[in-house]
Structures are given as C-alpha cells and as structure tokens.
Copies of this chain bind each other. A is one copy, B any other.
C-alpha cells in the first residue's frame, strides 16, 4: 500500500488529490519555483496531524505544513512532492484567558479572525506582518511586523506550543506560566523552524489590552538618512512608539498611484502611539521633538479609526502595488535587518545600488527594528530579470552581513536563502542545526530542502 492509500484509509475525504487543490498548494506568494504535492491532507485535529505524520514517516514521504500560503521564500512549497498538510480547518480559538492575557488557538486561525475574536474581551494580538496569515504559519516563519518595535515578534509572544513530531508523537513544549526555566526551550526551537522539526497544532499566545487611545501620525523628511537618524534617537531614548515605519519617496509614489493616498512624495515616517490619553500625548510630544530636530516636517496626527486604517492599509499595499506594476509577477522578497546604528548606511548604499543598476525598488522598513524590505516583483519566467534581482539581492545580503546584520528579519530562510544562512552564521553553526534536524526527524520527511541545504545531510531517505 502506498502512503496516499494508507492516508485515504485512515482519513478518508480529508485527503484530496484534486488538481486545483494540488496546484493551490504548489507555491506561496514569492517568485520561487512551484512544485506540486502528491496529495493534500486537510487535518481537522491534532490527531489527524499525528496520523498523517506517522504514516508518512513509515513511508518516508515528505510532509509540508500549510497555513494560508502567504510566505515569500518558498517556505511551504513541497519541492520534493509528498503531502501538503493543510491546517486551515484547524481554525478554532480554543480558550481566551483575559486574566492571564493569553489565549490558546489552533494553527489555522488567521490574524484578523483572531483579533475579531479577542475584541469582545478588550484584547488583541499585536503581530502584524501585513498579510492575513495563519498564526501557525507566522510562528513557523518567525514572523514579525509593524508593531514589533513595541510588542515583540512571534518569538517573544508565543508562550507555548503543542507539536506533533516526525514520528507522530504529540508533545507540549511548555505550560502556561509567563516564564519558566524548565529544561530546553523547545518553544523557541519550533518557532521559526518552518515545519522542518515538527508540526504545530496548538499555540499559546501572549495578548495585550486594546489601548485606550491609538493615535497615528506621519512626518516627512528631506532624506532617508534624516528619517532613520531620527528613528535611532527615538529608540535610544526608549520613547514609547507602537509603530515607526519608513517608506521612501519611491514607495510613497507607488502607494499614491495604487491607493490614491495623497501622501507627500518624500521619505516618510508612519507612526502609531498606544496608551492612555495622557501617555500618548507625552509620547507624541517627545517623539515629535526628536524627529523635528532631524528635519522632520509636516507632522499630521489622527485618532480617527478610518483614517488610521487607511494609512496602514496604504503601507501594507506597497508590496501589492509593486507587484501590480509588472504583469504576471510575484514578489521577490528581500528582508535584511541590521543593527540600527548601521541602518541609514545600509539603506543609502542600497538605494545607490538600485540606481546604478536601474532597478525600480521602493523601500519600506520596520526601521525601529533595523529591518527593511526592497519591494521587488518579477515574472518568474523572465529569467534575465530574475537573475538581475538575484545578483542585487546577493549584494544586499552581503552588505547587511558586513554590518553584522541578518539576511532575514522576518520571512525565514525557506529555499530562497539556504546559502545566505551559511554565509551569515558559518558552516559549523548550520551543521549544529543539521544535527538537531537529524535528531528530531531522522528520516528527513519534514519540509525537506528548507532552511538547511541538502549537502548537510549525508543520506536523505526521501530523495
């Protein structure tokens, strides 16, 4: 009996071989090559996940967990075929604990859905990567976003996980206490491991009270350097900003064209402040004073929810707007993150590189964290264009690494950055990661080919 036959026997109609379904699970939103799974399993419980993994492990069949498919580095593409394990039906908010400011959810719960469910408790989950991703996917990728400067990334906000191992065993990485020193930190090991060490089937997340006041603000600057220098000082003074996002003048033009947002076509900072009426006023005044000293002008602010949502929608639309400019294109993700002291240098040198190569690359950045994206889109069939962008990306990563930064602040390694991970941390560090992978997934069935290049494994059962 094949793995698929056995899965069908155990899970019946939850196993799909429908071509449209297979195609839907063959690629994410990035430009990387698509690859079809042999089957899609729609898991409805932790037990379904355990059954799938047990059967696939016995058959040495690859299993690639799937949330929504909004990843950008081929993280959830089944490049060696096998089973795409779709968790979208596991979309229950299992428990909300207003007293402990936490909740337990299934991995298929999506970001907006979660915040709708939490609103009645006066709570919210802050991580906002733009896309309406699944929380399981966000944890697996180590996602972050515009609010990370105040609230932290998935790494900081996942308190514990239920995980199914490669062999189909169900484990819990932690209990519900806010802090613990009990043994190895498996929670953090699974967060960001992109489904290569286990499949997340429940998440315990840290929550926050919806702030009494949310104020958005914008300010424009003569140059990106001025804006970034202002941000550096805001961070150094530990001023209380909930969002502090850069969009460069190119990105403003793109957004204006796409969303008709009417933003001033200069380097802009988009800010948000969360707190009580008093503390928000204090923060705004302190941040304004710093930014004005760095050449910031045209300060606008609003607490109107509609205006605020339009502003952040415009920011999040930037990537889509760039994609819309090139027919049949997908997103070419760049995601470097550097120590904030080097951020202005890194962005400026990147803009010079773009100009000298005639590449249109608007820049948006979670500048409070030192993280920025060059918004690039490409038709994957246009090999010449892909090559130009890949060379640019390699220079961008080398530049970030030379500044003690990382090739990825929040998108993960996937298949797109295997070599960059080695460049960043060294052969020896990646080989320690490979030792962990081999220990937890001896048959190499879990999302093979991702994060760690194949050559780190002497023999791989599934290839």
Q: Which stretch (A9-17, A324-332, A347-355, A421-429) binds chain B?
A: A421-429
Name the distance in Å between A378's Cβ and chain B's nearest Cβ: 22
CA distance A179 to B235 in the complex (A): 14
CA distance A31 to B115 in the complex (A): 48
A406 and B180 within 8 A (CB): yes
- Chain B residues with Cβ below 8 Å from A101 are 235-236
Name the distance in Å between A6's Cβ and chain B's nearest Cβ: 23
A3, CB-defined interface residue at 8 Å: no
| Beta-carbon contacts under 8 Å, A196-255 to B | 197, 208-209, 232, 235-238
Q: Which stretch (A57-65, A84-92, A337-345, A381-389) binds chain B?
A: A337-345
From known contacts A184-B451, A436-B439, infer whether A428 and B177 are also in contact, taking CB-CB under 8 Å. no
A302, CB-defined interface residue at 8 Å: no
* CB contact between A429 and one of B153, B172, B339 (< 8 Å): that residue: B172
A28, CB-defined interface residue at 8 Å: no
A208 and B178 within 8 A (CB): no
Give the interface centre of A181, A406, A430 by most chain B CB atoms within 10 Å. A181
Nearest B-chain residue to A123, judged by Cβ = B236
- Chain B residues with Cβ below 8 Å from A184 are 189, 192-193, 197, 433, 436-437, 451
CA distance A408 to B411 in the complex (A): 33
A180 and B279 within 8 A (CB): no
| Beta-carbon contacts under 8 Å, A173-193 to B | 173-186, 188-189, 191-193
Q: Which stretch (A34-42, A163-171, A264-272, A304-312) binds chain B?
A: A163-171
| Beta-carbon contacts under 8 Å, A107-139 to B | none
From known contacts A102-B339, A413-B181, A436-B184, infer whether A428 and B170 are also in contact, taking CB-CB under 8 Å. yes
| Beta-carbon contacts under 8 Å, A435-459 to B | 435-440, 451-452
- Chain B residues with Cβ below 8 Å from A286 are 276
A298, CB-defined interface residue at 8 Å: no
A23, CB-defined interface residue at 8 Å: no
A177 and B405 within 8 A (CB): yes
From known contacts A177-B337, A208-B238, A209-B238, infer whether A183 and B99 are also in contact, taking CB-CB under 8 Å. no
A410, CB-defined interface residue at 8 Å: yes
Q: Mark A15-28, 1 if CB is under 8 A from B, else 0.
A: 00000000000000
Nearest B-chain residue to A411, judged by Cβ = B181
CA distance A435 to B371 in the complex (A): 35
From known contacts A179-B148, A411-B181, infer whether A439 and B428 are also in contact, taking CB-CB under 8 Å. no
A429 and B369 within 8 A (CB): no
A409, CB-defined interface residue at 8 Å: yes
B236 and A182 within 8 A (CB): no
Give the interface centre of A185, A340, A432 by most chain B CB atoms within 10 Å. A432
CA distance A38 to B446 in the complex (A): 43
Nearest B-chain residue to A238, judged by Cβ = B209
A156, CB-defined interface residue at 8 Å: yes
CA distance A417 to B425 in the complex (A): 34
From known contacts A236-B101, A236-B209, A440-B432, infer whether A340 and B178 are also in contact, taking CB-CB under 8 Å. yes
Name the distance in Å between A68's Cβ and chain B's nearest Cβ: 17
- Chain B residues with Cβ below 8 Å from A359 are none
* CB contact between A100 and one of B282, B341, B433 (< 8 Å): that residue: B341
A169 and B439 within 8 A (CB): no
B406 and A337 within 8 A (CB): no
Name the distance in Å between A442's Cβ and chain B's nearest Cβ: 9
A177 and B338 within 8 A (CB): yes
28 examples of A-B residue contacts, CB within 8 angstroms: A97-B339, A99-B341, A100-B339, A101-B235, A142-B180, A142-B181, A148-B179, A153-B179, A170-B428, A172-B425, A172-B429, A175-B406, A175-B424, A176-B339, A177-B409, A178-B337, A178-B340, A181-B408, A181-B409, A182-B406, A183-B421, A183-B429, A183-B430, A183-B433, A183-B452, A209-B237, A432-B440, A436-B440
Known: A276-B282, A278-B282. 7 other contacts (CB 8 A): A174-B406, A174-B425, A178-B337, A180-B409, A181-B406, A182-B421, A282-B282
